[in-house]
Amino acid sequence: MRTNQPTRKGRILKVEIITRSDDSPDTSTMGEYTDKAGEGVIVCATGEFYLDIERRTRIINRAFELAEIAGEFGDTAKETYWGAKAQRLADRWESQNEIPEHSREYRFFAPYAGGESVGSKDWRTYAKQDWERMRTYDKGYWHYVGIMAQAEVTLAGSDVVQRITSGGLWGVESDSGAYLEEVAGEELESLRGELETLGFGPRAIDAAFKTVENVKK
C-alpha cells in the first residue's frame, strides 16, 4: 500500500488489536486423553474415576469371596447373605463400573488436576474441573486464541506502509472475560515500546491509540 507522496514525518495510520484462533494449542494444563488405564484417569464414557471402579470391584469381589468361604464351612446363612450382598452391589454399580472396549476413541482422560496427589480431595476436585473443562472445549463452547497489537505506519521520508506488531500472547481461553481486555492492554503497551523505538513520540502514539480497532481472524 502506497500514498501519493513520500511522508516528511512518520505517521501512525492505524492501530489494531488482532485476535486469531489458536489452531495448535497446548491443552496439557487440563490433561490429556489416553488409552492406558490407571489410578489417575477418568473413564470418558461415564466420567468415573478409575480408582473408584477399582475400589468398588474389590468390595464386590470380597463379598463373593466371603460367600464362598461361608459355603465351604457349611454356613448357609452367611453364604446366602454375602452372596446376595455381592450381587446387589454388582447390580448397583454395573453402569458405573463399565469400561468400554478399545475403539477409535480414547477411553480415558488423565487430568492435570493442579499437580495434586492422585486420590486426594484436592485432586478429585481439580480433576473433575479439568474433565468438565476439556469436554466443553471438545464441544466447541470455547477455544484458544492469540492476541496481539498491530500498527500500520510510515516512517520519515518514506511512503511505504509497514506493519509493527507486539510479541503477542497465545493460548488464551476465548471465554476469559476481563482477562482478554487485560491481555489486549498489555499488548498495546508492548506495541507502544516498539513505536517509541522507531521514533514516534508520546503525543502521536496517544492520538493513534484513541481509535484502536478490534479485528478477529
40 with 130, same domain?
Answer: yes
DSSP states of 73-128: TT-HHHHHHHHHHHHHHHHHTTTTT--PPP-SS--EEEE-GGGPPTTSHHHHHHHH
3, part of any domain: no
**Which of 138, 169, 187 is the last residue before a domain boundary?**
138
Q: What is the pLDDT of residue 4?
A: 43
**CA quadruple 12, 13, 18, 23: dihedral positive or negative?**
negative
Q: What nine digits make up the cell of 73?
A: 464351612
Instruction: Pick out the chain residues at pLDDT < 70.
Output: 1-8
Which phi and psi (to 5°) does residue 158 adopt? -135, 150
69 with 163, same domain?
Answer: no
21 with 111, same domain?
Answer: no
147 with 132, same domain?
Answer: no
**Which of 76, 105, 138 is the last residue before a domain boundary?**
138
Which phi and psi (to 5°) does residue 168 adopt? 80, 150
Cα Dmax for the chain: 107
Q: Which of these, 215, 15, 21, lies nearest to 137 by C-alpha position?
A: 21
Domain carrying residue 188? 11-25+143-216
- For residue 18, the surrounding DSSP H or E stretch is strand 11-21
Q: How many CA atoms lie within 13 A of 210 on its CB side?
A: 6
Q: What is the pLDDT of residue 62?
A: 97
**Which of 84, 116, 138 is the last residue before a domain boundary?**
138
5, part of any domain: no
Q: How many domains does the chain have?
A: 2
Q: What is the pLDDT of residue 181?
A: 96
Count the residues in the chain: 217
86 with 158, same domain?
Answer: no
pLDDT digits (tens, 9 = 90+) for 34-91: 999 999 999 999 999 999 999 999 999 999 999 999 999 999 999 999 999 999 999 9
38 with 126, same domain?
Answer: yes
Q: What is the pLDDT of residue 67?
A: 95
Contact 30, 130 (CB under 8 A): yes
151 with 123, same domain?
Answer: no
70 with 167, same domain?
Answer: no
2, part of any domain: no
78, part of any domain: yes
125 with 89, same domain?
Answer: yes
Whole-model pTM: value is 0.82
162 with 211, same domain?
Answer: yes
152 with 108, same domain?
Answer: no
